Structure 1
């Protein structure tokens, strides 16, 4: 690497307490109109920028090099510009006058040290940027080169699990080593307390303080807003949302983009889903509108393809047509048996659908699908597991796995999810897809930074996936929140930036 060396390693949470203020001692809050109280199920466990840096852009105490927006774009954030020089080389130029909350400036040399640190210790960055090297060109400019083309670099630099930006000169993690509009006043196992960053480079910060309480119980989060103990409850259970539609008191707010996608992943490695006709009948037999509108309701939408329509290359590749599903099965030799379940060569058209407890809506969906597919002669058995990824890595015991995995992530990146879930041998290719043409298309996308040139590749990939039913998008979901009347204008972020300078 041609960047500066990094100071001594961060001490771990076990060695260095991260309580920046005494636990259990309430501090005098600023005026009520300048503070927000949020409850969330997810705990910020430390301020380590490598292991826990993802929380910094979510809660506004850190920022990324690029930013995904609610209107479907990815734009420079800490960067002023990001320009490809070749398929394997990019020039990164920082905005001027960026400072960390501790007052230190962010320079190209400091950013190079940050990138090196992530490449060495953040496995996600190392996998995304193979053979990466950074070179400092001037005080604000870097050159990043990779061993293979990475056309989705703008999206990768907007990924909260990627390169979190921090002060590489600091010797240990603390609340002021980030660049965001807030700095961390205190962090405990129960609460994160943020205050306005007096050194913020990006302009006015509207809030004086934000208090983020970690509340795993979903009903407790709902009750916190109802009782006035919190202003915003994130990740509320779907079944609770109907309580807040009467027009008075707390209300439901829904993010603009449906970036959370419930996939139905067929297991191509065993019967009956190794048969294309069975997969096609499954896709045609699911009533997507009924699931979204009648079974689930707010904040769901019915999908009509792999990608949501926020991206202009999305193709309509899914529809509901029970009559066509029956014709497909008839043509493939799946004949109704005495009990109405179809059979072929002594094999029943019976599928086990996996659901998992951390996403209770998966069971609700599975029960509805069970009812929808029974008239077609497809028998559905529902199995619940604790870890759906672990269960799907074992080819035995399941036929269709339900899993919430966005086809664009939270950065509108089609390439990364395609590679991770649908290319041969990929870590999350749970269904066992092995399609040489699809593999080639994804590799070509990675070598094509120009979006217009990439569009026909993306369209062809969608056609291949749909023709073979390698995956079915069962439902699209936008992030909901329950919001008190005092914050009635709050909208959840489609891209998980819960608190910002404008909040």
Structure 2
């Protein structure tokens, strides 16, 4: 009996020790495990293809930060692409080059600091200093704090697109001092605040309780960065994520077969295109660019690759916008005549050859938009039929590859009217001195026309000039515009409020909710 009693005492003591150890265990934030787990929290997980390299809002990662729901700009674009109030609740034009902005009241950054005119001015100044593209878009000469919630902006010249350009993610408002704090994340003003960032893996955001506007319906959202389209689809099907952007059109039928998912589509402002390296020995000559452009089977790509979810492209801008109403002139010369203009001749193998060298080009593509690789394969096949050999090479980061690697032509995709106006795309892709002019197009006439466009405030006249600029650019064929794709997202039916919109900034927002 004593042995049995001692045995029970030993087991009882051991149990107490285990309970004590469990009760004392903590996570890296010093919270107990029981405290750390909130079973009542409403959460969701989304899959995006692009991973930011950091959280600096005035770098090339500004779009990804905006899409996370953590950051805001002075202006927000409505669904019809008209500019509306956001951090700026109103504005007025004082004269041709001066604007007065009235800021929202009772707005705080995620670190609790109040947003005022001085903070906005400091953030915009940093955006201008850090990014030449932002500087070119805003054309700000000076800023002045008029009062706590009033900011005056003076431009170097008439900038008709200033208001819409202030919706550009490159103008995100941030507490500048928070960017220098190595132990915390940047302090933005959005409905969500950053909780955790894991490079190339995920960004976790949580509800910001001090938000000035409508509170989020979810407590936390995890955004997973999954560049491969098939992997995004598998994550959705397995339940690892609740929603995914940029779904391949090939996967629509698979998702629509069951009753678990909603497939969301919308006409987009995006253009899929082929870029020509105008410094490449193969594509320096206009005749060769014209030949390749004429061989691209646009309607076949819309029908077979896009499954009808898109429209054949004739210029950089979708016909959704008025300045996208351009006509493409048909090439009068045959492929043979064009190639022979540049000294190419067919050899005995029916391949084009010049100075003893067979036509062989490097064609870049990338995995984040899987349909582009399929398009490249279709174009590759058409060119081979005509005696041009093209080698497709997929790269992880297309922008880096275009700058740092050797290439002849490349698939590219761009939201060309993301501020609801033609200025941004024309400015960064076709101005001779733009760092984003990656295929080295240069035209003094186009430069001059773009400069003039910035100063036209009359909408009809600016639309007319924007079309003329496109016609002038098309004479040089720096790009082949292939298709205006529809935006395709997919979500678990438990997820509400996630929309596919023409504009691609506002993916994660306060209206997203999860039903159980």
Shorter-chain TM-score: which interval? 0.7 to 0.9
The match for 1:228 is 239
**Of the candidates 364, 368, 380, which is equivalent to residue 355 of structure 1?**
364
| Aligned counterpart for 2:298 among listed residues 288, 298, 301 | 288
Q: Is the counterpart of residue 100 in structure 1 residue 109 in structure 2?
A: yes
* Distance verdict in 2 for CA 1:153–1:267, change over 3 Å: same
Helix, strand or coil: the match of 2:84?
Answer: strand
More helix by share: 2
Q: Pick from 410, 414, 419 the counterpart of residue 422 of structure 2.
A: 414
Displacement of 1:438 in angstroms is: 0.9
Show the counterpart of 1:28. Answer: 38
* Alpha carbons 1:288, 1:303 under 8 Å: kept: yes
**Contact residue 274 and residue 482 of structure 2 kept, 8 A:** yes
- Paired with 1:342 and 1:55, the residues of 2 have a C-alpha distance of 43
Deviations 1:304-340 (A, max 9, x none): 3221012111133347x79964486399587765544
TM-score normalised by structure 1 residue count: 0.80
1:352 Cα shift?
A: 1.6
Q: Which residue of 2 aligns with 1:135?
A: 144
**What are the residue-to-residue correspondences of 1:117-128 with 2, within 5 Å?**
117-122=126-131, 124-126=133-135, 128=137
Deviations 1:242-288 (A, max 9, x none): 4213243224323x232332222233345553443333332232111
CA drift at 1:381: 1.3
Q: CA–CA distance in 1 between the matches of 2:484 and 2:350?
A: 32
- The change in CA–CA distance for 1:402 and 1:210 in structure 2 (over 3 A counts) is closer
2:327 to 286, 292, 317: 317
**Deviation for aligned residue 1:405:** 2.9
Deviation at 1:440, TM superposition (A): 0.8
Root mean square deviation of aligned Cα = 3.8
Is the contact made by 2:364 and 2:409 (CA closer than 8 Å) also made in structure 1? no
Equivalence for 1:485: 493
Quick one: distance in 2 between partners of 1:249 and 1:105?
43
Equivalent positions of 1:372-387 (< 5 A) are: 372-375=382-385, 377-384=386-393, 386=395
8 Å contact 2:346–2:387 — kept in the other structure?
no
1:279 is aligned, of 280, 289, 298, to 289
Distance 1:176 1:54, change over 3 A: same
- Cα contact 2:497–2:511 (8 A) shared by 1: no
CA distance in structure 1 between the partners assigned to 2:457 and 2:33 by the alignment = 51
CA offsets per residue over residues 23-60 of structure 1, 9 Å max, x none? 999632436xx432213344466655555665443122
Contact 2:366–2:398 (8 Å) recurs in 1: no
Matches of 2:401 and 2:232, distance apart in 1:
30
Aligned residues: 476
Residues 106 and 22 (structure 1 numbering): CA distance in 2 closer, same or farther, change over 3 Å?
Answer: same
**Ranges in structure 2 where 5+ consecutive residues have no aligned partner:** 1-27
Q: Secondary structure at the match of 1:98?
A: coil
CA 459–121 in structure 1, closer or farther in 2 if over 3 Å, else same: closer
CA deviation vs aligned residue, 1:218-239 (integer Å, no higher than 9, x gap): 4443233212232112344555
Change (3 A) 1:346 1:481: same
Tell me whether 1:212 sits opposite 2:220 in the alignment.
Answer: no
Q: Residues 372 and 151 of structure 1: is their aligned pair in 2 closer, same or farther, counting only changes over 3 Å?
A: same
Residue 163 (structure 1) aligned with residue 171 (structure 2): yes
User: 1:486, CA displacement in angstroms?
Assistant: 1.3
Structure 1: which 5+ runs fail to align?
Answer: 1-18
| Residue 166 (structure 1) shift | 2.7
Q: CA deviation at 1:178?
A: 2.6
Residue among 91, 97, 100 paired with 1:91: 100
TM-score (norm 2): 0.78
